[in-house]
Amino acid sequence: MTDAIALPRPEDLLPHRAPFLLLTDVMSLEPGVRAHCRWQLSGDEYFWPGHFPGRPTLPGVLMLESIAQAGALVVLADPRYAAKIPLFGGADSVRFRRQVVPGDVLELEVEITRMSARAGKGKGRAHVNGETACEGELLLILADR
């Protein structure tokens, strides 16, 4: 049996803060490679009343942003890039497959597939109870802090 390694809180690595920190917990992390994070949607978030009244639905762009934040966390956990800010540079092959509603726990899995001193690419998936809600490829651009 190996000793458990303390995982960082999202705010320990990411520059994002409420109301735009879209990760609640880090479940697993391999710096520079992959992460599994969660976003617990309480129903109190600012966007529910307007998207949509009577049928609250998590905006797809926020699902995609939460995947990008998990990707940024993977990059910032790598000491080579800890002094940078990974900016969301683009997304490809994005598909939204399931509605996400208040009370859902959005599981986020991201893998960085290519990284350089200036940018990185990865793929990510958001799911609820194993059912894919969103998936796609990410481009992260590294900027100086």
Residues taking part in catalysis = 51
Could you tell me if 70 and 35 are in contact, meaning their C-beta atoms sit under 8 angstroms apart? Answer: yes
Name the residue type at position 99.
Answer: Q
DSSP code per residue over the chain = -PPPPPPPPHHHH----TTS----EEEEEETTTEEEEEEE--S-STTGGGS-TTS----HHHHHHHHHHHHHHHHHTSTTTTTEEEEEEEEEEEEE-S---TT-EEEEEEEEEEE-SSEEEEEEEEEETTEEEEEEEEEEEEEE-
